[in-house]
Amino acid sequence: DAKTTQPTSMDCAEGRAANLPCNHSTISGNEYVYWYRQIHSQGPQYIIHGLKNNETNEMASLIITEDRKSSTLILPHATLRDTAVYYCIVHSPHAGGTSYGKLTFGQGTILTVHP
């Protein structure tokens, strides 16, 4: 399955936008980009996912480049409660794909939001 590369850590000031990059240069055509986050001592939490179009929900926006080799998760107004590890994952929901059914978590990006 496709691998992802994320920065180890990032900082952001409270109230500012947090932009978290992810590289997935070997993504295949039927694989989606998913983002999860894990707040300390809790289970991972789904944020957003997309295939090739940009997506937005109440939590965040996902910008996927035209060649699909990278993406950016945007938290528009970061708060202290957004401090967490953010995971970018490529995943195929379709049977037959090598990543079918599997979320493969890397090391993620530790986002620290400062007052």
Partner 1 sequence: DAGVIQSPRHEVTEMGQEVTLRCKPISGHDYLFWYRQTMMRGLELLIYFNNNVPIDDSGMPEDRFSAKMPNASFSTLKIQPSEPRDSAVYFCASSFNSYNEQFFGPGTRLTVL
Taking the least distance from each CB to partner 1, the nearer of 14 and 51 is 51
Instruction: Determine if 29 is a binding residue for partner 1 (CB under 8 A).
Output: no
DSSP letters for the chain? ----B--SEEEEETTS-EEEEEE-TT--TTPEEEEEEE-TTS--EEEEEESSS-EE-SS-EEEE-TTSSEEEEEETT--GGG-EEEEEEEE--STTSTTTT-------EEEEEE-
Tell me how many residues contact partner 1 (CB under 8 A): 20
Among 54, 65, 79, 107, binds partner 1 (CB under 8 A): 107
Least Å from the CB of residue 65 to partner 1: 22
For residue 75, the cross-strand partners are: 18
Q: Mask of contacts with partner 1, 31-50, x by CB under 8 A? A: ---x---x---xxxxx--x-
Determine phi and psi for 82, rounding to 5 degrees: -85, -5
Among residue numbers 77 through 106, which ones bind partner 1 (CB under 8 A)? 87, 93-95, 100-106
Instruction: Determine if 5 is a binding residue for partner 1 (CB under 8 A).
Output: no
Taking the least distance from each CB to partner 1, the nearer of 8 and 66 is 8
Tokens read off for 13: 């000031």
Note the residues at the interface with partner 1 (CB under 8 A): 34, 38, 42-46, 49, 87, 93-95, 100-107
